[in-house]
């Protein structure tokens, strides 16, 4: 029998992302308690810049699964907070390269620590192999809809 019917509750939870929003809210609370003055969305941009500094806004769009206007405004706000700087590319003047400021570099260890802590709390009672299955299912869902 194919998966052509869902009970109402599971359908709703899959679509609304109950679990991931709970994780994001918890992490945001930790940021606030630590006076990090950073939204989860802003953090998600810094996250990719910590991996590779000096990438374009378009690359940030791809990495964070956001559209261009969303990244424009997140970079606007991160610039206001003195966490990143736009530098026009010399090879292609359409492109803004986004660079971390020293201030942003200082935030990496603390915020990544809080993120890991949050995930540990979220998954503390879940066996490793079930986490792996869950991860793979979510990846397949994403690929199926991409």
Partner DNA sequence: TTTGAATAGTTGCTTAACTAACTATATGCC
Partner DNA sequence: GGCATATAGTTAGTTAAGCAACTATTCAAA
107 binds its own copies, rule: CB under 8 A? no
Choose the stretch contacting its own copies; rule: CB under 8 A; options: 74-82, 91-99, 101-109, 111-119. 111-119
Calpha distance 108→104 (Å, rounded): 7
48 binds DNA, rule: CB under 7 A? no
4 binds its own copies, rule: CB under 8 A? yes
Three-state DSSP class for 67? coil
Q: Which of 11, 101, 117, 97 is nearest to 55 (CA)?
A: 97
CB of 52 to its own copies, least distance (A): 11
119 binds its own copies, rule: CB under 8 A? yes
Calpha distance 28→65 (Å, rounded): 19
Contacts of 109 (CB under 8 A, 6+ apart): none
Which of 47, 63, 85, 86 touches DNA by CB under 7 A? 86
Give the pairing of strands 96-100 and 55-56: antiparallel
Choose the stretch contacting DNA; rule: CB under 7 A; options: 2-10, 46-54, 65-73, 134-142. 65-73
Binding residues (CB under 7 A) for DNA: these are 21, 25, 28-29, 32, 39, 41-42, 56-58, 61, 66-77, 86, 92-96
């Amino acid at each position: 029998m194919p998966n052509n019917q869902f009970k109402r509750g599971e359908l709703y939870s899959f679509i609304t992302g109950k679990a991931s929003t709970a994780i994001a809210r918890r992490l945001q609370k930790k940021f606030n308690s630590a006076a990090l003055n950073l939204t989860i969305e802003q953090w998600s941009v810094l996250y990719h810049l910590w991996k590779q500094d000096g990438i374009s806004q378009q690359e940030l769009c791809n990495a964070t699964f956001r559209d261009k206007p969303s990244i424009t405004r997140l970079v606007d706000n991160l610039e206001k907070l003195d966490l990143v700087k736009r530098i026009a590319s010399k090879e292609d003047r359409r492109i803004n390269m986004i660079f971390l400021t020293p201030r942003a570099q200082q935030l990496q260890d603390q915020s990544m620590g809080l993120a890991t802590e949050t995930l540990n709390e979220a998954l503390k009672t879940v066996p490793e192999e079930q986490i792996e299955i869950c991860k793979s299912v979510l990846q397949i869902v994403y690929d199926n809809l991409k």
